[in-house]
Structure 1
């Protein structure tokens, strides 16, 4: 599973659902049901639109509710 975002929302998708989308890491992380995932996004606007269509079809979760803070932010 991979956490993929568009805008302020994300969802978890199996790798095969993402094979047609070029992704890059955002540097952020989310924690869903005790599992931490690196957060990815589309590499271009067109790729982000593909992610957005997946989120429309499968649902989305707000990043702010699942975001893992960096240790530097906690100090």
Structure 2
């Protein structure tokens, strides 16, 4: 069975938001820089609440930030 995963555009969105750091994003949504790094790298899938918070920071919809890669 092929693996599926959630991919994201967080790194690009951070860059476009004035080169926001992982720590800045984490502080805005109540997560650590390490957790943001893991989500960004695809090593950890965020909770639905965290995903909505991340999308809200960038003024994007969930599917503009996260995509299901099957």
TM-score (norm 1): 0.35
Higher helix share: 2
Higher strand share: 1
TM-score (norm 2): 0.37
